[in-house]
Structure 1
Amino acid sequence: MNHMENNHLLKMGIVVHDIEAAARHYCELFGMEMPPISIPDPHAAPEPTEDSYTWQRGELRPTRTKMCVLKMGPMVLELLEPYDEPSPWNEYKQSRGQGVHFVMFTVNGFNQHIDFLEGKGYPLNHKGEYGAGRYGYFDSEDKLGVTLGLQELGPKQD
Structure 2
Amino acid sequence: MNHIDNANLTKIGLIVDNIEEAAKRYCAMFNLPMPEIQVPTLDDPPSQQTDDNYTWYRGERRDTRTKFANLQMGPVTVELLEPLDEPSPWSEFKQKHGQGVHFITFTVNGFEQHIDFAEQQGLPLIHKGEYGSGRYSYFDSEQALGVILGLQELGPKQD
TM-score category, normalised to shorter length? over 0.9
Q: Secondary structure at the match of 1:157?
A: coil
In structure 1, C-alpha distance between the alignment counterparts of 2:40 and 2:56, rounded to whole Å = 17
Q: Secondary structure at the match of 1:142?
A: helix
* Cα deviation 1:15-41 (Å, max 9, x = unaligned): 001000000000010111111100234
TM-score for the superposition, normalised by structure 2: 0.95
Partners of 1:45 and 1:62 within 8 A in 2: no
Counterpart residue type for residue 2 of structure 2: N
Rounded Cα–Cα distance in structure 1 between residues aligned with 2:40 and 2:133: 19
2-structure distance, mates of 1:17, 1:59: 27
Runs of 4+ in 1 over 4 A off after TM superposition: none
The separation in 2 between residues aligned to 1:152 and 1:45, in whole angstroms, is: 23
Identity %: 63
For structure 1, the residue ranges without an aligned partner over 5 or more in a row are none
Which residue identity does 1:31 align to in structure 2?
Answer: N
- By how many angstroms is 1:45 displaced? 5.5
Quote the RMSD (CA, aligned, Å): 0.9
In the alignment, what sits opposite 2:19? 19
- Distance, in Å, in 2 between the alignment partners of 1:54 and 1:18 is 24
Which residue in 1 is equivalent to 2:107?
106
In the alignment, what sits opposite 1:32? 32
> What does the per-residue CA deviation read over 1:90-116, in whole Å, with 9 as the maximum and x for residues that have no partner?
000000000000000000011111111
Give the letter for the 2:5 counterpart. Answer: E
Aligned residues: 156
